[in-house]
Amino acid sequence: MPTARPGQAQPSRLTATDKETDPAMSRAPQADPEIDSLTAEITVDCYDEHEVLTAFENAFYDARLPCPGTVIGEDVEVLSVSTSNNRRELIATCQRAGRRHEIALLDIDIHADPPTSRLLAAYRHWVGD
């Protein structure tokens, strides 16, 4: 392989086949069929973003809440999830030291049971997070 001149980029030694078969080389997130299926199940009858958020809000009614979480390094208890305050995202009502706070769901590191964790993963997938 010829060497590059000073100031030129070194030619890549990876072939197209190497890039296609090595998952670490792909910039696209790896698909998770279970999460894709859950997202599709939740959003099947939705026609716009508002309906999707409402569908995810309804799905979180079945989540095992309250559950523990962390926000900027502080422990909180996640009490509920809703589409409050006309925001275009899901909001979690959290409690810490006897005070309630409304925090964007995606800003919380939730330590939930597996079904609730999958539901959160499906929401993150839909948002593109």
Kindly report the pTM of this predicted structure: 0.72
How buried is residue 77: exposed, middle or buried, by Cβ count under 10 Å (0-12/13-18/19+)?
middle
Q: How far is CA 86 from the centre of its chain?
A: 21
**Helix or strand or coil: residue 115?**
helix
Cα(101)–Cα(91) distance, rounded to whole angstroms? 10
Q: Which two tokens stand for residue 108?
A: 């919380």
DSSP symbols for 85-112: GG-SS-EEEEEETTEEEEEEGGGSEE--
Domain residue spans of the chain:
32-127
Q: Which two tokens stand for residue 69?
A: 């979480």
Q: Tens of pLDDT along the chain (129 residues)?
A: 445 445 544 444 444 444 444 444 333 355 689 999 999 999 999 999 999 999 999 999 999 999 999 999 999 999 999 997 677 899 999 999 999 999 999 999 999 999 999 999 999 999 987
Structure letter (DSSP) for residue 63: S
What does the pLDDT read at residue 34? 93
